[in-house]
Chains A and B, each alone.
Chain A
Amino acid sequence: MNRNFKKGVKEAIPIFLGYYSIAMTFGIIAKTVGLSGVYAVLMSMTNFTGATQFIAVNMVTGGANISNILITTFMINARYLLMSFSFSNKLPKNLNIKTKLMIPFGISDEVFVLGMTKEKLDINFVYGSQAISYLGWVTGTITGVLLANFIPKSISEATTIAIYIMFLGLLLPVIKNSKKIAIVTGIAMILSSLFYYIPILNRIIGNWRIIITILITSSIGAILFPIEKSEEML
């Protein structure tokens, strides 16, 4: 097997471990809130995204309509436009069309971060890192779906909070390190609450609460607290 491919696999082993664990949680949560285990695995296989898979499950069980969920997914993942842009700048020029179609599928958050630590990217290295990461994500989901069968019925009622804990797990580590993101997240929570509790707003905005909150909050953030070059992740 190609040497660079093996190097990619080796360097992405930490990603495999992280993904396996998070995907297992995804599989367990999806099953315990009543969704099909097969579909959960299918989602991991076709989407290969982290937070948005949890968010999608949350919105489906919350009764949001499909266009709402897809618009939210689009917004949250619009950042991949920038990430792919930066990532592809490190790839060799003149890739063949098959490569151009295959590589983007595997540009997940952690694969992106690993790629950005390199000056230039070798195609086989990228494939290697993507393969092992994808393997972790899918097998983790399968494991979680299977394990969920062993959760006693009595505990099932208590699992509804699990998704929100995942959200907290995604937020807290970042908030700890970035005051700007902490403020923006706080604004989002306040707006979301206003649209939820104030009757007139709730009636007018209804299902669009999340989307409108995201748009307003991100705009406020981008205008008042623009992210400096040094703080950039993208």
Chain B
Amino acid sequence: MNRKFLLVIIGSALINYLLRAMPVIFKGKKEPSNFVKSFLEYIPYAALGALFFPDILYSTKNIFISIGASIFAGILIIKRQNMLLIVIGTILFVFLTGLNV
């Protein structure tokens, strides 16, 4: 798994750098169409949505723990708490609810 991870690291490093560097190195004049802009801007959210669900349901040993943990985390996120604390808190939530199952 770590070998795959290393290859991904190198590959994505190159990809990210090229994506960021091309417009700076080859300065273009034309601004892309509204469709292209909207398309590219939506991609990250489409990706996050696709990766999040339904996979999160199976990320713990019990679907209900996953749902409960998501609601727990969701409330804290909306209340703008610190993400690191939310992640730690949710891990504890899953751990504690998992003790009885």
Contact = CB atoms under 8 A, between A and B. Distances in A.
Contact of B11 (A59, A66, A173): A66
B56 to A, nearest CB: 4
Interface residues of B, number: 71
Contacts of A21: 82-84
B20 A188 contact: no
A116 interface: no
A191 interface: yes
Interface stretch (A5-13, A131-139, A214-222): A214-222
Nearest to A67: B11
B43 A75 contact: yes
B95 A103 contact: no
Given A82-B40, A168-B70, A158 B98 contact: yes
Contacts of A46: 9-10, 13
Interface residues of A, number: 101
B44 to A, nearest CB: 5
B77 A39 contact: no
B35 A104 contact: no
B19 A172 contact: no
A165 B77 CA distance: 9
B41 to A, nearest CB: 6
Contacts of A232: 37, 41
B51 to A, nearest CB: 6
B78 A221 contact: no
Interface in A34-74: 34-36, 39, 42-43, 46-49, 51-52, 55-62, 66, 69-70, 72-74
A192 B12 contact: no
A39 B15 CA distance: 17
Interface string A159-196: 11111111111111110100001001111110111001
Given A82-B37, A184-B49, 19 more contacts: A24-B84, A39-B9, A46-B13, A48-B16, A70-B11, A76-B44, A78-B40, A81-B23, A104-B20, A104-B25, A162-B87, A166-B83, A173-B77, A173-B80, A185-B49, A187-B46, A218-B42, A227-B41, A234-B40
28 contacts: A21-B82, A22-B83, A34-B1, A35-B2, A49-B16, A52-B16, A58-B51, A61-B1, A62-B55, A70-B8, A70-B15, A75-B47, A76-B43, A76-B47, A79-B43, A85-B28, A155-B92, A157-B95, A158-B91, A158-B92, A172-B77, A173-B78, A173-B80, A174-B45, A188-B49, A193-B54, A213-B50, A227-B37
Interface of A: 21-22, 24-25, 28-29, 34-36, 39, 42-43, 46-49, 51-52, 55-62, 66, 69-70, 72-85, 87-88, 91, 100-101, 103-105, 107, 154-155, 157-174, 176, 181, 184-189, 191-193, 196-197, 209-210, 213-214, 217-219, 221-223, 225-227, 232-234
